[in-house]
Amino acid sequence: MIPDVDLSHLKPYGDQMNDGVIQLSFTLPVPGGAKAREAAKNFVSSMGLSEIQIVLSEDIGENFTFFVIYAKTTKDIDYSSIKTLEIESPKMSIDEVNGHVMKYLGRQITIVGATIGSDAHTVGLDSILNMKGYHGDSGLERYRMFKVYNLGSQIPPIDLVRKAREVKADVILVSQIVTQRDIHIKQLTELADILDAEKLRDKILLIVGGPRITHELAIELGYDAGFGAGTMPSEVAAYVATEIIKKKL
Amino acid sequence: MIPDVDLSHLKPYGDQMNDGVIQLSFTLPVPGGAKAREAAKNFVSSMGLSEIQIVLSEDIGENFTFFVIYAKTTKDIDYSSIKTLEIESPKMSIDEVNGHVMKYLGRQITIVGATIGSDAHTVGLDSILNMKGYHGDSGLERYRMFKVYNLGSQIPPIDLVRKAREVKADVILVSQIVTQRDIHIKQLTELADILDAEKLRDKILLIVGGPRITHELAIELGYDAGFGAGTMPSEVAAYVATEIIKKKL
Amino acid sequence: MYLDLDQDLVRRAREVAKEVTDDVQKFIDLRSTDSVERTVARFFDIDGTDSEGAPLPNVIVDNVKKHGGLDRGIAYWIANACVAKSMTPQQVAEAVGRKEFSPVDLAPQNEGIVAQKIDELADAVIKKLENIRNTREKMLNELGDPAQPYIYVIVATGNIYEDVIQAKAAVSEGADVIAVIRSTAQSLLDFIPYGPTTEGYGGTYATQANFKIMRQALNEMAGKVKRYIRLTNYASGLCMPEISAIASMEGLDMLLNDSMYGILFRNINMMRTFVDQYTSRLICAFSHIIINTGEDNYIKTSDPIERAHTVTTSQLINEQFALKAGMEPKYMGIGHAFEIDPDVQNGLLYEISHALLTRELFPNAIPKYMPPTRYMTGNIFKGYAQNTLYNLISIMTGQSIHLLGMLTEAIHTPLVQDRYLAISDAKYVFDNARSLGADITFKKDGFIQKEARQVLTNAVKLLEHVKEIGLMAAIEEGTFADIARKMDEGKGADGVFIKGEDYYNPVVDRMETALKGGKMI
Amino acid sequence: MYLDLDQDLVRRAREVAKEVTDDVQKFIDLRSTDSVERTVARFFDIDGTDSEGAPLPNVIVDNVKKHGGLDRGIAYWIANACVAKSMTPQQVAEAVGRKEFSPVDLAPQNEGIVAQKIDELADAVIKKLENIRNTREKMLNELGDPAQPYIYVIVATGNIYEDVIQAKAAVSEGADVIAVIRSTAQSLLDFIPYGPTTEGYGGTYATQANFKIMRQALNEMAGKVKRYIRLTNYASGLCMPEISAIASMEGLDMLLNDSMYGILFRNINMMRTFVDQYTSRLICAFSHIIINTGEDNYIKTSDPIERAHTVTTSQLINEQFALKAGMEPKYMGIGHAFEIDPDVQNGLLYEISHALLTRELFPNAIPKYMPPTRYMTGNIFKGYAQNTLYNLISIMTGQSIHLLGMLTEAIHTPLVQDRYLAISDAKYVFDNARSLGADITFKKDGFIQKEARQVLTNAVKLLEHVKEIGLMAAIEEGTFADIARKMDEGKGADGVFIKGEDYYNPVVDRMETALKGGKMI
Ligand code: B12
Ligand code: B12
Ligand SMILES: Cc1ncc(COP(=O)(O)O)c(C=O)c1O
Ligand SMILES: Cc1ncc(COP(=O)(O)O)c(C=O)c1O
């Protein structure tokens, strides 16, 4: 840590400790001018910011005004007392994962993966599942003790569940990339509901991933785990192995 | 105005009316990781923002973490009721200004300008005072009815006042560009105090300008007016002419 | 030129591409699809939906199909019904929608009169399309064509009215082309939704009403800014020719229209797409609608350097299919993209090389350049820098249609401010480097020239292979984008049929005559 | 090269610049200044302040001056006092500070012994400086010299300890050079503040203690990142030679050091600056400290295109003055800047042309390229784009020292995040366009070549004129930066004096011998 940082009253650092400087930008649906600037200022101070500097106030046409602002926060937060709910899973090599599963489970773990609903993005899911993996980190298909079914994209939740039942899946991996208008929430909820309805939920480890997914959100939606941007396949592998073993013991 | 905008509950416009989306960036003096992300999130929600998306959380070394965040405001502001305190001065041509001063004052207006204190920036002041002016808008020296003394930069407030007294100035134009550590506040306050002490304050129209200056700040500091980034000389000329005439009548 | 390419190799590339597409064209000429027939229905002014909300063009075509008459072509059945019932095509369709009768069950009317009816209806279409085309071109000449590269931005709120607001702002900021992105995977719908829509995901539904609303808004703005503003939408998909039809009737200027996109990236049946794209492009060629091909998609998932030649290959194939549809090169928006990982050393030199290759390979076309997307991240500042270099390469290499990159590409569909920042950056860079391309040259046999030759050579190799086994077999084999699609699989296969010998499509027929004096080329 | 400049014109430019500076050098050689004498005192290890806080080097020099002995040079008086009182120079200075005596009042000691004392003190200095220089160069060789352009960033918090925190972060992000900006207008102080400082405006005071603190911090980081990290500060000003002295003793690598900056931009008396810069540069030359000249300042207030030749002119003059101080070209950080209004059409072509001109005119120097500043605005995104193009031009034209632009240039002194964004952008662009310069050439007699020739031609014209009337007269006439300065006006004029015939400066003498075997050149 930096010598004179006060962790129980943490503030943003601009060009000196605790100056609390932050940068903002946003657009107001009003024409540019003094009144718009005043509005922007009121809005920013309503967030508890002070020493507000409107460094750009640009009328971008059709009654929109774009602002770039620097301001200082009056608030501070207690860093020392922060608890994060994080996916804790040990770092494990492929052999360790395989060894582990062999030892404690004595059989392959069956995984079904898909991008559900109208979402056509496969690259994210593939980089977790495919041999090739992600940035040199091999995908789950490379693990001897995983049996992976990658259904691809635009899979209706109902089909995904059917497949899961058919192959007696231990794990479902869902990818959701498109989040506009919260469509991912709708689709993920639908999947969870179907699993409940079919009494499969507690038999299956339910995992979601995507660049806009957080573990927190996943928990809220009744999933076991959520993986975000930059996830490495090995993290997922280690998590799956440990959790399934827990479950089955 | 845009058809369905609600001016009494104005919110930022991201990609639809009232979605309230804003962008933020700031640095926390802690190392990167889940705990830092959580801290950033708490901090942002402490500003009354929701649906917080941390789109970048980058450990930039030496225990600093840089964040880029999108979030939605829960607050809205009443635009319709906003009153702005603005410098109101009519748009006037050079001839109009000269004619006006001739007619109502019957003599030249004497103006002393300087960048005070340790501030060495002259371009701003010069673009208001010099013949050449700013972006094709002629400077005050070009006005027949103004007598301009441009003292240049790094002028101690005391010297500026001495000069003002010596030439019986009607107007003092101060430029302040450097604002770091609020040095401009110190220097501007010093100038105002000297003028008070020397009982000159109410005899003189006291104006400050600079890219970080606002009319509001100027008023707070006991100045008559403040001009900000992109000021045109003609605005200043019109203001000076009308104010001095008011004063003298 | 900058690359001094081996012109024999260039000629060879075109020859092979032509041979590759010749076979497919033979296959195409024997077939039609439900969508092609619905296109005719739409041209005959059949619009609206039945009581269940099914679009009438689908209703009547499905009905005729169910009753086994479609291999004769929908035109005959509509005309025959019009004569029999002395109704307009619209009235016929509505009646069919009300299940009052099937056109197929009606007694065949006097051959001559029906033929006359068909001609009358078809001539009307052609007249109408010519008028719309001429009005557009008149407006273009009056207002003036913006300088290239055209500044092309996307609106994608899902709500057409919101789209209009944002499109207007974009135009006043300097946009030359507005593309309304379609709602997620509309390409997989086997019908075109009806009416104005306000709910879409990742984009706004392509409907005739939405086209009309946006076209009108842009024409207003064009008058204001004294610059012709082009409107773009998306054709590729299960309704490829129909979308072209409504686009031609609403005066759109550009359509995303790729001969293989649907097959590879949307798992649409290959016979379906090949047949559809032909009619779709005939319409574009006739209405002077610029097509945008989708080569950017190839390098969105595979490596942009190693697989650069697949882009070139697809470009050459797209060009040949467009020529077969009688399209002049100046309407071919040949696609490519700036997708190289920013961490690659000398990535910018590769980009310059690839961008120039497209430009020099298609000197008479109007190339469409696509921005960085897959390597954009949550670092919006870095994203802005990537887009700045992309803008620079575009002006430097003389691209024509320039789709702006968004600093928030990795995050959300563009906010108004994202679009403003993108447009102002493009204007800044284009103006600041306006004559750069004219002032530089590249070292003979240097990095850039070598790379371009390599890519072209690999493309020719690939084409030779495709020619060997045939394009369709090549697709089955997974030659393109590492994606394999089977001949008879994929969506919409059941919508393809072999024309009967009494098959007649009066609109296609007239367009072929107008564009190339008859079908065979 | 890229510009194929007329080499006769280049030769001519240098000739004239030499003649222009020859006269001034004659003038310089006859004179010394208070600051030059304080430099000697500092080299004799006189440091600290008196009870009023006046630095002891000032105290002793002022005292000797008051008592009329300075024209003999401070070295003699210190040595004589050391002998007389058998004190160290520091003890002498402290005693003088306590007003115990004036060195001038002390009885002259045995000539031989005093001379010996002087040699002893001076030889010690030289030894010390050589050691420091060698340690630096050893470290440089061990850790390795980063690739050019060096990534050069500024820290400017006003608080040296805060500066250290930010400098370390910058280094771990990829900075190669750290410059600690001086507190606003320190150049106008006729003394160097003493000790570590935590309060400054727009920058941090340049003090020997601050130099030491930062040097140590950077050495630690250098070890961590396995890259030699250079430290920069500012010399130009009233204490030009003294700053060089403390920099040389604390192992700095670069100094802002311009032969005319103080005169033109800080209204320092011209005689004072000319005399001071000579000794200042001797020290830099001897200690292998890279100088950074300040040509960027010319185009911060005047038009960067119309007045481009004033930059070139100043560069040539700076080069000649550096040569006269026995400096090898590789230590000449010839300054220039990317300051053209982004709204100028083809502004980028002008920038390329000007940047290449500097590069090709000084092939053996180590040019320092400065970022856009005056046309930066509150639009931080646009600012980031401007800096991205600046970075590109730098790598493309092969610049050596690259001062990073900050997206918030128009707003505040850099925040940590601003610096991070600047460094990551420079790394991205440099790597992404690493070999671009090697792959392009410019059209013969094209825009870029023509512009460069024009600028050089105008520079030669200007130099010819300056030669006509003499450099000092030219400055009085306002030839440079539209600023006129009178011979005897300006700050610090009273600090210049003519050397007596018994004047002796043992340190300067030794450096001149080491660098060029004696004064005259
Ligand atoms: C490539 C791409 C496409 C390709 C997809 C090709 C394919 N086969 O996947 C094509 C061109 C088809 C496409 C189309 C569309 N796209 Co798209 N696309 C992208 C793009 C450029 C890159 C995505 C990508 O491949 N990232 C690389 C992978 C490796 O990263 P990742 O997905 O984040 O995955 C990592 C983690 O998230 C995690 N992860 C992801 N999934 C899972 C699952 C599990 C179980 C786990 C454990 C982890 C995990 O692990 C991965 C490795 O670390 C993004 C923009 C961007 N730069 O992100 C837009 C983007 C995702 N697309 C977008 C949109 C809107 C669309 C369209 C809907 C646009 C339209 N209206 O046409 C269409 C339609 C697609 C559809 N029907 O859904 C938007 C989504 C906006 C939003 N947040 O809602 C984006 C962000 C672009 C934008 N700003 O508009 N797209
Ligand atoms: C040019 C320049 C310099 C030149 C100045 C040359 C000169 N003779 O003026 C030089 C190189 C000398 C310089 C030096 C320094 N500068 Co300086 N400089 C700038 C720069 C790049 C441009 C300023 C400019 O000319 N703007 C153009 C004019 C026309 O705009 P303007 O000043 O805003 O003026 C307009 C309005 O503000 C208004 N206005 C201004 N004054 C007045 C007065 C009146 C009465 C009225 C009515 C209106 C008015 O009207 C003008 C026309 O519209 C800015 C960065 C930037 N892009 O703004 C930094 C900047 C102002 N400098 C800065 C600093 C810190 C310095 C130094 C202190 C750095 C250092 N430690 O060495 C030094 C020391 C100078 C000193 N002692 O004060 C900082 C200030 C940060 C802050 N907010 O505190 C800036 C913002 C750069 C940065 N980000 O660090 N600088
Ligand atoms: C050629 C082409 N057509 C159509 C589309 C998009 O249509 P959809 O998302 O409905 O498949 C794209 C998108 O990349 C494209 O490149
Ligand atoms: C050559 C040179 N010396 C010194 C300085 C700054 O020193 P000061 O601000 O103390 O005058 C500059 C700043 O631009 C410079 O260019």
Q: Which among C388, C391, C395 has a CA at the least distance from the CA of C435?
A: C395
Task: Name the one residue in this structure whose structure tokens are 């012709």.
Answer: C228
- B79-134 tens-digit pLDDT: 999 988 778 778 899 999 999 999 999 999 999 999 999 888 999 999 999 999 99
Interface of D with C (CB under 8 A): 342-349, 381-382, 384-385, 388-389, 392, 407, 421, 424-425, 428-429, 431-436, 438-443, 446-448
The amino acid present at D427, given as its one-letter code, is K
For D201-234, how does the pLDDT look when each residue is reduced to its tens digit (9 = 90+)?
889 999 999 999 999 999 999 999 999 999 999 9
Look up the pTM and report it. Answer: 0.96
Q: How many residues does chain C have?
A: 521
Active site residue D8: no
Contact (Cβ atoms closer than 8 angstroms) between residue B44 and residue B66: no
pLDDT band at residue A248 using 50, 70 and 90 as cut-offs: confident
Residue A60 has pLDDT above 70, yes or no: yes
Q: What is the pLDDT of residue C1?
A: 64
Best residue in D381, D408, D427, D448 for a mutation probing chain C (most C CBs within 10 Å): D381
User: Which residues, numbered 139 to 178 in chain C, qualify as contacts with chain B under a Cβ-Cβ cut-off of 8 Å?
Assistant: 156-157, 159, 162, 165-166
What is the pLDDT, as a whole number, of residue B187? 96
Helix, strand, coil shares of chain C, percent, nearest 5, are 55, 10, 35
Q: β-pairing, B21-28 with B64-73?
A: antiparallel
Q: pLDDT for C122-154, tens place per residue?
A: 999 999 999 999 999 999 999 999 999 999 999
**Looking at residue D519, what is its pLDDT?**
62
Distance of alpha carbon D222 from alpha carbon D229, whole angstroms:
6
Q: How far apart are CA D409 and CA D418, in angstroms?
A: 9
CA of C298 to the centre of ligand 1 (A): 14
Q: Report chain A residues whose CB lies below 8 A from the CB of B77.
A: 39, 42-43, 46
Question: To which residue do tokens 């160069």 refer?
Answer: D137
Residues across chain D: 521
User: Residues D33-49: what's their mean pLDDT?
Assistant: 98
Interface touch A180/C412, C-beta < 8 Å = yes
Taking only the tens place, the pLDDT of each residue in D59-98 is 999 999 999 999 999 999 999 999 999 999 999 999 999 9
In this structure, the residues whose C-beta lies within 6 A of any atom of ligand 4 are: D 182, 185-187, 234, 236-237, 256, 258, 261, 266, 294, 297
Instruction: List Cβ neighbours of D127 (8 Å cut-off, separation of 6 or more).
Output: none
Chains within contact range of chain C (3+ C-beta pairs < 8 Å):
A, B, D
- Is there a contact between D207 and D242 (Cβ–Cβ < 8 Å)? no
Q: How far is CA B55 from the centre of its chain?
A: 33
Closest ligand to the CA of D336: 4
CA distance C202 to C185: 9
Catalytic residue among C324, C368, C467, C491: C368
Please give the pLDDT value at position D1. 65
Q: How far apart are CA A179 and CA C147, in angstroms?
A: 36
Q: What are phi and psi of A159, to 5 degrees?
A: -70, -40
Lowest mean pLDDT among A80-89, B147-156, C419-428, D444-453: A80-89
Q: What is the pLDDT of residue D520?
A: 52
Contact D158 B25 (CB under 8 A): no
Q: Which residues of chain B have pLDDT under 50?
A: none
Cα A214 to ligand 2 centroid, rounded to whole Å: 45
Residues D444 and C440 sit within 8 Å (Cβ to Cβ): no
Closest Cβ opposite residue A14 in set D165, D380, D415 = D415
In angstroms, rounded to a whole number, what is the distance separating the alpha carbons of residues A2 and B31? 9
DSSP-assigned beta bridge partners for residue A25: A68, B23
Please tell me which residue of chain B has the smallest CA distance to A49. B47
Q: Are C433 and D381 in contact (CB < 8 Å)?
A: no
Digit-coded pLDDT (tens) for D118-173:
999 999 999 999 999 999 999 999 999 999 999 999 998 999 999 999 999 999 99
* Contacts B62 to D, Cβ<8 Å: 165, 168-169, 172
- Ligand 1 atom closest to Cα of C376? 57
Please name the member of D345, D349, D433 whose beta carbon is closest to the beta carbon of C348: D433
From the CA of D237, give the closest atom in ligand 4: 11
Contact D216, D165 (CB under 8 A): no
Report the mean per-residue pLDDT for chain D: 96
Q: Which of D157, D378, D410 sits opposite A16 (nearest CB)?
A: D157
Q: What is the mean pLDDT of residues C257-279?
A: 96
Is B50 within 8 Å of chain D by CB?
no
Active-site pick, D205, D228, D261, D420? D261
Average pLDDT over residues C303-311: 96
Question: Band of the pLDDT at C520, cuts 50, 70, 90?
Answer: low
Per mean pLDDT, which range of B40-49, C181-190, D383-392 is the poorest?
A: C181-190
Per-residue pLDDT of A133-161, as tens digits, reads: 998 999 999 999 999 999 999 899 999 99
Beta carbon of A229 within 6 Å of any ligand 1 atom: yes
Residue B78 CB neighbour total at 10 angstroms: 13
Q: Do D431 and C345 touch (CB under 8 A)?
A: yes
Mean pLDDT calculated for residue range C170-192: 94
Q: Which residues of D touch C173 (CB under 8 A)?
A: none
Span D222-248, average pLDDT: 97
Residues 6+ apart with CB under 8 A from D7: none
CA distance C31 to D380: 57
Does the pLDDT at position A108 exceed 60?
Answer: yes
Give the nearest partner residue to C378 out of A58, A183, A229, using CB atoms.
A229
β-pair type (C177-180, A225-227)? unpaired
C399-411: pLDDT as tens digits: 999 999 999 999 9
> Which numbered ligand comes closest to the C-alpha of A233?
1
Q: Closest ligand 1 atom to the C-alpha of A121?
A: 9
Contacts of C452 (CB under 8 A, 6+ apart): C3, C5, C353, C354, C356, C357, C360
**Nearest partner of C35 among C496, C499, C488, C485, judged by Cα:** C496
Single-letter amino acid code for the residue at C160: I
Q: Is the pLDDT of residue C482 over 90?
A: no
